[in-house]
Structure 1
Amino acid sequence: MTKEKERLPLEGIRVLELGTLLAGPFSGRLFADFGAEVIKIEPPDKMDPMRNWGKSKEGTGLWWPIQSRNKKSITLNLREEKGQALLKEMVKEADIIIENFRPGTMEKWNLSYEELSEINPKIIMMRTSGFGQTGPYKHRAGFGSVGEAMGGLRHVTGYQDRAPTRIGISIGDTLAALFATIGCLVALHEREQSGKGQVVDTALYESVFSVMESLIPDYLLAGYVRERMGNILPGVAPSNIYYTQDETYIVIGANADGVFRRLCEAMDQVELADDDRFATHEARGKNMKVLDLLIEEWTKSLPAKEALEKLEEKGVPSGLIYSAKDIVEDPHYQERDMILSVEHPELGEFPMPGIVPKLSRTPGKVKHPGPEKVGKHNEEVYTQLLGYSEEELEEWRESNII
């Protein structure tokens, strides 16, 4: 069997993606990367704003082809009774519904999990929202930025003498999508035993909070509130960025005793490893500022490339702070297929991030970029999957159902 004909691991799984923007559609992308049939559903009169987000070229948004790769696109007006009825017909043939509306929206449209599970007891509903489906905040609007703030991340991001800052990507939405996808895969596995679907309830703020390490026991058990610390980790040294001779920064992480000794060897200052100020993890944490100054004296004497070569030779974790240009030029990214080139109908060869994680026997695949035309697969889904005629489709178009 050739690689081209190998079965993708999620083939046979059908996903109905109702969400917009980031969190829900990112989950859909992950399912599609590994072979699930993901049907992206947009209102006929209000396309997903993600189609126009980010930079554009020749009028084409450059984020959409990545976020919606491998998906099919149909239109359906869920505010209308006929649109709701058509979705229920699709639910009979589906495994997963992805939605990231404000809680109560699906219920308002007569599309609650209870109603849909009566139609298909195996259906799994992935529900991603700002604050979850229960609790006093459930009806609040909640974007990723709010989740990052209330999940604790913004409070510890930035420098002590400045206001909290954001990370340079929509990390709250992405974390929620990852947790939601994990939950959905768990539900799929459990369904193999029970034969029943369930709701996967993911809140943005909880997804952020879940990765906040020992934030809470630090406070409740040690009376310590983590604050913004810039590029350092309190009590952990050396672990920082360091300026180099050619006016760039490199990252060095050498806080373990053995690794610190190797760093001292790379710097030709082996005596520092036995200096009482730096000989132990605790001592290095207490004398972090002095130690960082000593390390930066060394990095400033060398171009970044040469400093990194010396560090690599001694097995010290280190690296450049990559820009997009550095990523594109890096041979390791290329060797691991982390920048794929996919044919786009309007822009030609379109570069996009590769698939993560790498599966050894059944890896994922990008077959095509996100559908550029809203409703591109209407005929395929409504005539082939549901069995309706072209005349009926035309009637629905005229009445704004699709």
Structure 2
Amino acid sequence: MNAEIIAVGSELLLGQIANTNGQYLSQELASIGINVYRHTVVGDNKKRMTSAFQEACERADILFITGGLGPTEDDLTKEVTAELTGKRLMYHQPTLDFMKQFFKQRKRTMSENNKKQAHYTEGSDVFYNRAGLACGMADNYKDTLLILVPGPPRELKHMYENTIKPYLLKELAGEFLVLSRVLRFFDIGESRLEEELIDIIQAQTNPTIAPLASDGEVTIRLTAKAKTRSEADVLLDKVETQIQQRVGKYFYGRENETLPVQVVKNYGKKGVTLSAAESLTGGWFAKQLVDVAGASAMFEGSSTVYSQSAKNKVLGISHDLMDKYGTISKECAEAMADKVRLQYQTDIGISFTGAAGPEPLEGKDPGTVWIGISGPNGVTSYALNLAGSRELIRRLAVYYGCWFLLKEKVVNK
């Protein structure tokens, strides 16, 4: 079963807003075994919309149309759909009642043009909108299932998760069950990972294998179709075992388990405490950890020591050491990690120092990074040469810090 997505809105073509809905829907549909083959963006023009809808219906089993469901004159999606299918537009009374109540509660008068947000084509299935006003709907044109959803991302996501996804799963239920599994890898690029797995990827049928790269990590989404969950699990387990045998040393988690989540979970479970000294990252590492529920059980705190003076006054790093080796050095990184561990009385201390750019610092090129880790058995340091913008270098440094912490041999307390 294949799908296409058409985003309606001249503001998208003008670059005034980004089409994040397309990305979201592609990911979500892939997770239930529906492949998205094409994305199209069309402006608020009836003729061009009609042409785009007709062309997509020649190719796709499912056509998602996002946007153009609002109250204004240029919101034309339902009107075009009605003309395409040859059906009349009707008012969905529950949506109309909800809208009237919405305006009444806010002591505002509902203008006549708002009523069009309650339109649906006769005989179609209506999707309630509890994050906005305009209802969505599902209809059929020839052999294509048309699904209309609002353009605002918050409304679209709420509608998809609460009504459209269950609707699609019910539609597919007679054929098969779809089960997905996400594997997360770090310190390996997408091209290298694909090279390692090329024969497995080329031979894929069921499960399908979809790699996706972002900021130093690669995720692989495995999607299996089967009659039962146990059959799908067997299929997924078989392919995952093959993948782990090839690139398992880069594997760190599943589903939504990011690197900071894994650090919090791992260290918390083992009763190991952590503190950080941050120069390059300026507190970013601490934020990433404390954004994770449960961080208080393992993270004591972070000292942001950006200047030489701060490194000396807060951590007690000697000026002699910094003058001799520089702050972007193995020696400074190790001293920072050791001092912060003692300062906070934690099991592990980690430090970040480096040149984020855009200009060299202390004669070091942007992307030169040192990360130190101090534990009961001594101090280790890691040198990195990262590329990208100032923000990306700092973000990657945080992720590498998490990665090294996960590789650290820590024992249960």
TM-score where L is the length of structure 2: 0.28
TM-score where L is the length of structure 1: 0.28
Relative to its length, the structure with more strand (as a share) is 2
In terms of Rg, which structure is larger?
Answer: 2
